[in-house]
Each structure stands twice: as structure tokens, then as C-alpha cells.
Chain A
């Protein structure tokens, strides 16, 4: 396991004797109540062993291939490319995976670790419901008890996914606190975990939270980037000029970025939720209005007020509606390796229609934010250049919201 320990600007340095792994530059770390520390240490140890265990890796790749449906295609979007008249656009089709989004990669990995730790109960948080569905799915597959925490507001806007989880045998618990969205669901999952830590694994769904989650979840999603890099070289004959992905917590983005980090000529572009305005509470663009802080176990960019209280957020897409961002993204941003832009609710909805009508692909509203940036950027690029857009999930779950917003159809 990489133990990046550059301690520049780390908020609270470390005492000499104790090594602190899990840093991305100054970001990351492990900020949880003591009760959880032993479980995090166990998880890190088990994961470190599993990474080196060929049998574990074989079982994981086998499930990705035969159960989840990997590898996913890299699809040349000919009509969208012609329409925009610039870079050649390729879509990484994570939306074709079992359960409809990239989330299944990480869920399969963590489910195998749960079994390895001898735990029988799994809890998870979910925003859009995609991670909850993927968690419920792997729990059904391996026979675990599954409880998913979901904000009441998200349950309303993603009701089909609530039903899917229940159909898969999971218990979905409604969270009424705060803004009743993803952040509040994570709080409640952490409270469950701190209570049942001896028997329960917390299957966190993004590159968030305390170490080792950000590294571990990235590693489980890195298959997306490895596939995409090999595919683009084969199909386009070159590396892309840009890779674009939406960033909520940032797991699909880290997954695809990770394979291109060393390719300095590849621009990595993360797209945050611009929501419906620039005021605090109107969006979820942590890099445009947030500041470094500690939320839910990790030190990263956070939308907050001057006194350190966490702000509420808004996005049409439940999966991006979160005030924090994965610590590795904070480091990619600060080190200049990746850039972060935002797309508004309106732009994302428009992008959703555009992709549906040019390519016959309805993306999830989260992924539609990446498509929106592609629509802005591709025309300014050369026709010889290649761009990859990560379509992290499909839009089936968003039909209710799309119907509400696109009334003129």
C-alpha cells in the first residue's frame, strides 16, 4: 500500500513514532472517533494482505468479468463528434455494468474483504441509490445481511432505486437529519458502524472517509482506467488529450484518472455539480467555494462556513450532492495534475438530452455533468485530438427527474 507522507501543510503533524499512511500530499488521513480505529487498522491490514494474495485477485477479476460484465466498451461517439466539430470523443461505458454504474467494482472488492474479515453484516450509505443497489447486490451474491442508509430527500427523488434495494433483500433506512441527502446518510452509517463495529463492515461507496478507504476504493476502480488506456491506444492509436469525469466523492473519476496520472500530456478534468447558483448551499462545487477541512474522517476540500460548520448543498443529481470531495482529488487539484470545473443543473439536463439523441445513450445525471463539459470543450479542440468521457452510470434511475425537468418533450 502506498504510504504517501508528504506532510507539507498537514493540519496536525504526526508524532515521531507513529506512521500515518493514507496521505495525498497534505490531504487524507484518519479523523474518526477512537472506537473505529481498530476496525480501520484491521481493514487496512486485511486489504494489504489481499492485494498480495493471487487467489483474492483472481476471484475479484473473475467476478468483475463474469458477474459485473467487464471489460466495458470504449465507444467512439461519431455523431456527437461530428455535431461538436472538434476532438474525437470516446465514451467509456461504465453504464453497461451490472447494476447500471461503476459502483459495482468497489462493492465486489469490499464484499470479498468482508468475507475475509469474517463479518456477516454490511452497511452502506447511498445518494443516488447506485451504490446502495450495488451493495445490496453483492450482499445478495455473498449472503450478507445488508442495511443501506439513504437521505429522505434522496429516497424521494430516487424511489425506483429504493425499491430495487428492497427487492435485493436489503433494508433501506431513511435518514431525516440535516439536508436529508448523502452527507446525512454517511453520518448515520458511521453511527451504526461505531455501534456495531465488531460484527459489521462499512462498505463506503466513494474515495472518501478515513484511511484506508480512499486508496482502497480507488484501487478497486482503477480497472476502469487500465481498460480505457489500453482501449484508446488500440482504437484511436494514441493517448487522449483529455479525460473527463464527474466528481461527487470522486470514485469514477479517480478510477479512470489513475491509469493516466503518469501521462503528463493527458489533461484530467473533473466536473463538479454547479447546481442552480454560486451561493453557498446552491451547488456542490467544492473547488469553487470550499476550503480545506475535516469531514467524515478525511481532510480535504469542504463546503463550509467560516466557523467550520458544514454547508448544505444542491444538485439535480443526488450522487454529486455532497459537501466534501475525495482527498486524492484535493491533492490532484493542488498539485496541478488535474483541473476541476463545474456544470450547472441546466447544463447537465441539456447534456443528457444531447447524448440521448446523438448516440442513443441516456447517461445518469451524474455522468451528464461530464458530458456537459465535453460539449463545452470538444469544439475548442483539434480534430486530431482524442477525448475520453467516462459515462459512469446509466440514466434509467433518473427518469422521474428527467420527466419533471424536460416537460416540453
Chain B
């Protein structure tokens, strides 16, 4: 199953699985894809999400109240795969994966029809066995690149990555921000020297305007907290609300991008 970004910018939609419950996550995921998301990031809730802001922290707490586990997320992925061809990766902190077992995780991920994984607290230095196990099953290893990463690190990240590279738009935790990312354009430019993989920009992207801005220099925008926030604010009609929100993100950004593209270079 391909991680393809045909539209530009394509949308990568993050969901904390099990928030508020797994059945709702499945509906929301399908709604996001119908509204145009190219790739789903299935977030595994973790008790200590050090890279996440308050919105995803709260979602993780809600999901953990009924003990949503990595096993549940893998099963959800299998269910989703029967209903959609969209790209699909697991987004997790390392410890749940470690306790599940690395080889067992890779087997189950491949069987569920997942395309890859992003382990947020696993830098390239520590990723040797993970890379081997994932590659052996044709699973994409998505790594983070940060504005603080040195050129040497970007090169290692590019070499270790498959599927796409996730460029962190700014220093900080996940969460919606008012301004457009400052550091991202420069980071993507530096990254492109080392890779021909698609680059997705995430952290702090929550509006159509921001997506459109990302579309000018990157292949995809990752939207997480804003979608999770939409779920939080719309109990009982999560899927419908996310469908509207995602349509709005893409409608605005695609229109804006068409306008920019129409201008001759």
C-alpha cells in the first residue's frame, strides 16, 4: 500500500486511537479519508507523552481510561484497511512497542496492512534493529527531522527514512499555533539536499491558510491537535465534524495552491 501524496499539499491526519473510543476512531478515520486525507497516522495513546501539548495529552488520557493498547490499534488498522486504500502508519512512543515486542509488532503491522510507523522518541542512533525488522517486512520507517537537527543528522535521518520524512515545523510540542511556522521552509530546503522522499510538515498546523503555505514548499501537511480538538469539541458527532474540518482545510489550501501555481514562475 503506497504512501503517496498526489495532491499538493497532501494531508496527513493524526488521530489518538481510542479517543473517545475505538469505534469512533474508526468512523473518524474513514471520514477524514473521504474528506481527502491521504495518510492516516494512528496514534497509540501513552501515559507520558513528552512530545505532545495539552490537546493530545487529554486525548491520550481519555483513551487510556479504557486501556486502549497497541494491540487495539493494530486491530483497528486491520479493520480500516478492509475499507480504505489510504496510506496508514502507526504513530507511537517507544515503550508500548517495546513491551509488545519489536518483531511481533512488525509482523502484526504488516498483516494489518499498515504502511509504516513513526516512533517519536526513537532517534536514528537507536534504531538499528527497528530498521532491520521494519525493512524486512517492507514497512516504511518515518523519522522526524527538526529545525535544530544538524546537517549531519539530517543526512542520517534521510538515509534511515522510508515513505516520507516528517519535518517538525518548529521547536516545541504538538499543538495548534496562530502563526505560520517560521523554521519549516528552511528545514525542508536543507532536507531536500539529502533525500528525494516526500516531506511532510507537522506540529502546529491547524488552518487552511497554514496548509496552503506548507504546500508551497513541502509535499504534505500533518494536522493532529486540531483534528483531535475537533473530536473533543463535538461529542456524539465526531465523524461529521472531522469531515467538515478536513474538507475546510483542504478546500482552502488546494484553492490557495491553485492560485499560487497559476502564477508563472
Question: Which residues does A use to contact B, with CB under 8 Å?
Answer: 10-15, 18, 20, 29-39, 41, 177-178, 183, 187, 190-191, 194-198, 291, 293-297, 302, 304, 306-310
Nearest A-chain residue to B148, judged by Cβ = A38
Are A37 and B149 within 8 A (Cβ)? yes
Are A308 and B96 within 8 A (Cβ)? yes
Selected from B46, B69, B157, the residue in CB contact (under 8 A) with A34 is B157
Nearest A-chain residue to B128, judged by Cβ = A13
Question: Which residues does B use to contact A, with CB under 8 Å?
Answer: 46-51, 53, 57, 64, 67, 69-71, 93-100, 102, 120-132, 143-150, 153, 156-157, 160, 168, 171-173
Are B98 and A308 within 8 A (Cβ)? yes
Residues of B within 8 A of A13 (CB): 128-129, 132
Are B130 and A12 within 8 A (Cβ)? yes
Given A14-B126, A29-B126, A178-B48: 6 more A-B contacts, CB < 8 Å? A12-B102, A32-B50, A191-B51, A295-B48, A308-B97, A309-B46
> Provided the pairs A14-B128, A15-B128, A194-B50 are in contact, do residues A37 and B95 lie with their beta carbons within 8 angstroms?
no
Nearest A-chain residue to B52, judged by Cβ = A191
Write the nearest CB–CB distance from B56 to chain A, whole angstroms.
11
Are A307 and B126 within 8 A (Cβ)? no
Are B95 and A35 within 8 A (Cβ)? no
Residues of A within 8 A of B46 (CB): 308-309
> Provided the pairs A18-B156, A34-B168 are in contact, do residues A307 and B96 lie with their beta carbons within 8 angstroms?
yes
Are A11 and B173 within 8 A (Cβ)? no
> Provided the pairs A11-B98, A14-B126 are in contact, do residues A297 and B121 lie with their beta carbons within 8 angstroms?
yes
Write the nearest CB–CB distance from B161 to chain A, whole angstroms.
11
Residues of B within 8 A of A36 (CB): 148
Residues of B within 8 A of A304 (CB): 95, 99
Residues of B within 8 A of A310 (CB): 47-48, 95
Residues of A within 8 A of B120 (CB): 33
Give 3 nearest A-B pairs by CB, closest first: A308-B99, A308-B96, A13-B128
Write the nearest CB–CB distance from A388 to chain B, whole angstroms.
35
> Provided the pairs A33-B144, A34-B143 are in contact, do residues A302 and B95 lie with their beta carbons within 8 angstroms?
yes
Write the nearest CB–CB distance from B139 to chain A, whole angstroms.
15
Are A18 and B124 within 8 A (Cβ)? yes
Alpha-carbon gap, A14 to B125, bound state (A): 6
**Most chain B CB neighbours (cut-off 10 Å) among A34, A37, A41:** A34
Alpha-carbon gap, A379 to B97, bound state (A): 46
Are B168 and A38 within 8 A (Cβ)? no
Are B128 and A191 within 8 A (Cβ)? no
Are A309 and B64 within 8 A (Cβ)? yes
Write the nearest CB–CB distance from A131 to chain B, whole angstroms.
19
**Most chain A CB neighbours (cut-off 10 Å) among B50, B147, B148, B153:** B50
Residues of B within 8 A of A190 (CB): 50
Residues of A within 8 A of B94 (CB): 31, 294
Nearest B-chain residue to A184, judged by Cβ = B48
Selected from B49, B125, B130, B173, the residue in CB contact (under 8 A) with A30 is B125
Are B95 and A195 within 8 A (Cβ)? no
Nearest B-chain residue to A179, judged by Cβ = B47
> Provided the pairs A304-B95, A308-B96 are in contact, do residues A18 and B125 lie with their beta carbons within 8 angstroms?
yes
Alpha-carbon gap, A99 to B48, bound state (A): 31
Residues of A within 8 A of B57 (CB): 177
Alpha-carbon gap, A376 to B125, bound state (A): 44
Are B47 and A197 within 8 A (Cβ)? no
Residues of B within 8 A of A309 (CB): 46-47, 64, 96
Q: Give 29 A-B contacts (CB < 8 Å), ordered by A residue.
A: A11-B102, A12-B122, A14-B126, A31-B123, A33-B146, A34-B123, A34-B145, A34-B146, A34-B153, A34-B157, A35-B146, A37-B146, A39-B148, A41-B150, A177-B57, A178-B48, A187-B48, A291-B99, A294-B93, A294-B94, A297-B121, A306-B99, A307-B69, A307-B99, A308-B95, A308-B96, A309-B47, A309-B96, A310-B47
Alpha-carbon gap, A30 to B99, bound state (A): 18
Write the nearest CB–CB distance from B179 to chain A, whole angstroms.
14
Write the nearest CB–CB distance from B225 to chain A, whole angstroms.
13
Write the nearest CB–CB distance from B174 to chain A, whole angstroms.
10
> Provided the pairs A177-B57, A304-B95 are in contact, do residues A195 and B173 lie with their beta carbons within 8 angstroms?
yes
Are A293 and B123 within 8 A (Cβ)? no
Alpha-carbon gap, A22 to B210, bound state (A): 40
Alpha-carbon gap, A10 to B122, bound state (A): 13
Nearest B-chain residue to A38, judged by Cβ = B148
Alpha-carbon gap, A38 to B95, bound state (A): 22
Residues of B within 8 A of A294 (CB): 93-95, 98, 121
Are B126 and A12 within 8 A (Cβ)? yes
Write the nearest CB–CB distance from A181 to chain B, whole angstroms.
12
Alpha-carbon gap, A306 to B97, bound state (A): 11
Write the nearest CB–CB distance from A33 to chain B, whole angstroms.
5
Alpha-carbon gap, A36 to B121, bound state (A): 10
Write the nearest CB–CB distance from B176 to chain A, whole angstroms.
14
Write the nearest CB–CB distance from B16 to chain A, whole angstroms.
14
Alpha-carbon gap, A295 to B97, bound state (A): 12
Are B172 and A195 within 8 A (Cβ)? yes
Are B98 and A293 within 8 A (Cβ)? yes
Are A30 and B126 within 8 A (Cβ)? yes
Write the nearest CB–CB distance from A390 to chain B, whole angstroms.
29
Are B148 and A197 within 8 A (Cβ)? yes
Selected from A29, A32, A191, A295, the residue in CB contact (under 8 A) with B173 is A191
> Provided the pairs A30-B123, A177-B57, A195-B173 are in contact, do residues A295 and B168 lie with their beta carbons within 8 angstroms?
no
Are A20 and B126 within 8 A (Cβ)? yes
Alpha-carbon gap, A135 to B49, bound state (A): 25
Write the nearest CB–CB distance from B254 to chain A, whole angstroms.
29
> Provided the pairs A12-B127, A293-B99 are in contact, do residues A191 and B50 lie with their beta carbons within 8 angstroms?
yes
Alpha-carbon gap, A291 to B132, bound state (A): 25
Alpha-carbon gap, A33 to B51, bound state (A): 7
Residues of A within 8 A of B123 (CB): 30-34, 37
Nearest B-chain residue to A22, judged by Cβ = B125
Write the nearest CB–CB distance from A211 to chain B, whole angstroms.
9
Alpha-carbon gap, A11 to B119, bound state (A): 14
> Provided the pairs A295-B95, A307-B69 are in contact, do residues A38 and B153 lie with their beta carbons within 8 angstroms?
yes
